[in-house]
Amino acid sequence: MDDIKHDTRGRRQFLAGGAKAAGAIAAGSMAAMQNASAQVNGPEWMHQPGSLSKGYGQPSEFEEKVQRAWGTGYPTVSPGTGASRTPLQSINGSITPSGLHFERHHNGVPKIDPDKHELTLHGMVNQPLVFSVKDLLRYPMVSRVHFIECAGNSGANTLPAAPQQNVQAIHGLFSNTEWTGIPLSILLEEAGVDPQASWLLAEGGDAAAMSRSFPLAKGLGDAMLALYQNGERIRPEQGYPMRLLLPGYQGNMSVKWLRRLKVTNEPTHTKDETSKYTNLLPDGKAHQFPFVLGVKSIITHPSGATKMPGRGFYEISGLAWSGAGRIVKVEVSTDGGASWREAKLDGQPQSKAAVRFRFPWDWTGSPALLQSRATDDEGRVQPSRAAWTPTYSAANRFHNNMIQTWAVAADGGVNNVYA
Ligand SMILES: Nc1nc2c(c(=O)[nH]1)N[C@H]1C(S)=C(S)[C@@H](COP(=O)(O)O)O[C@H]1N2
Ligand SMILES: [Mo]
């Protein structure tokens, strides 16, 4: 209590002194003087105590417009089916807040009671195992930052004409968070995998029973049974009480609400991996199991469907990632790829995780074409539109990692263009 009294007295003395000084400087203008004394006395919220703490915090009410957005193109044939996208234009840094992580549900978000949920590990194992959530919470865990990207992310930019949309609508099926969970290898070792086994099947506990096959090597590698996200238990939309996390693989394979893992010696060819998530090739054949996502970057600031207020300084910034490893370089072009300069990477890039890049830019007011190009530690370089397009059928919408262009017009308007 004493400390608080002292502080208050000190503050009053400071304010009185400050008011005198500011008054002297502003002398001669009544309005300026009133303004100055309002400045010194502080805004209204300094004249009453603030609100009490809340059990669980929310963003400022002035940030209410920062929301996930439902994309178009999802007929509501089955309720809860669709995707909502991360507002990449409104956030900064590299971590996506949990409440803004994009969502893709094939049949809605199940409400799972963790006391009733079980994970079964069976198939080609010495000892089939059934784990309760309570059992799993006692295992040793690891925390790592990883992105999840839907195979359909940026699919709009494979359409014949460039959609006039913002970065959220075009690229928002992408988020990057910290995951904490059990290395899958620990559970597989406990069950004892048959030496003849080579694949795994993962099944979700949603009404879609979404299921995918993945190589056993991935399961024994960096695969994780994730229980926490950004420090708290995984949210229902992201797979509560647990999800499979296959870092760097197409998002679909990170099966949410995981209820079953089966060890096999071949892929199961589930409906989810035969009807979708393949790449259609120019000759009409489909490339199945294109697991590892390409090296990619997108500029989020400035970005599509916004207006730059005028010439002068801008920080061009965005996110870069690779499904194969670590980002080592991001280059930025302001002239549509004629010349490139290296951007600064925020912090130490991690494997299969997004890194924020930043590039200072003085906009002269002339039209400009903004592009970014990422390189990973496997030597993969993000392809141009001209290089990417002939690799696939014109009807293919998946796995678009090509360099993307924002056109800045003389009036400051920013739009998605093909270049
Ligand atoms: N059980 C289950 N797992 C699922 C899905 C689903 O609908 N059901 N959607 C998949 C798809 S297509 C993607 S892109 C990612 C999205 O993860 P997120 O919703 O946490 O962003 O989850 C995958 N895992
Ligand atoms: Mo997806």
In a domain, 333, yes or no: yes
| Residue 23 domain-assigned (yes or no) | no
The CATH number covering residue 115 comes to 3.90.420.10
Residue 52 lies in a domain: no
The tens digit of pLDDT for each residue in 139-171 reads: 999 999 999 999 999 999 999 999 999 999 999
Specify the residue for token string 């992105």: 147
User: Above 50 in pLDDT, residue 15?
Assistant: no
* Residues 202-250 pLDDT 10s: 999 999 999 999 999 999 999 999 999 999 999 999 999 999 999 999 9
Q: Are residues 305 and 236 part of one domain?
A: no
Asked if residue 323 is part of any domain, the answer here is yes
Distance CA(168)–CA(237), nearest Å, equals 18
Q: Is residue 163 part of a domain?
A: yes
Residue pair 300/319 in contact by the 8 Å Cβ criterion? yes
Determine the structural domain holding residue 198 and report its residue range: 99-277
Give the closest residue (by CA) to ligand 1 atom 10.
Answer: 252
* 239 and 323 both lie in a single domain: no
Measuring from each residue's beta carbon to the nearest atom of ligand 1, which residues come in under 6 Å? Answer: 101-106, 148, 150, 204, 206, 208, 210, 237-238, 251-252, 254-257
Total-model pTM: 0.91
Q: Identify the band that residue 39 occupies on the pLDDT scale cut at 50, 70 and 90.
A: confident
Helix (H, G, I), strand (E, B) or coil at 360: strand
| Helical H segments across 85-227, by residue range | 133-136, 167-171, 184-191, 216-220
Q: Is the same domain home to 217 and 269?
A: yes
Cβ atoms within 10 Å, residue 306:
16
Residues with Cβ within 8 Å of 255's Cβ and at least 6 positions away in sequence, in order, are 202, 203, 204, 210, 211, 212, 239, 243, 244
| pLDDT of amino acid 71 | 66
User: Residue 208's CB: how many other CB atoms inside 10 A?
Assistant: 19
Ligand 1: which of 106, 237, 244 to mutate, most ligand atoms within 8 Å of CB?
106
Confirm whether 59 is domain-assigned. no
223 and 335 within one domain: no
| Residue minimizing CA distance to atom 2 of ligand 1 | 256
Residue 231 located in a structural domain:
yes
Specify whether the CB–CB gap between 253 and 214 falls below 8 A: yes
Q: Which residue has the tokens 């679909």?
A: 252
Angle 179-236-245 from CA coordinates, rounded to 5°:
35
Beta strands in 169-210 (DSSP E): 174-183, 199-204
Sorting pLDDT into bands at 50, 70 and 90, what band is 392? very high
Number of domains in the chain: 2
99, amino acid identity: G
Dist. CA 11 → ligand 2 center (Å): 55
Residue 384: strand, helix, or coil: coil
Same domain assignment for residues 126 and 196: yes
Rounded to the nearest integer, the mean pLDDT of the chain is 92
Cα of 409 from ligand 2 centre, angstroms: 33
Whether 41 is in a domain gets the answer no
Q: Domain check: are 411 and 341 in the same one?
A: yes
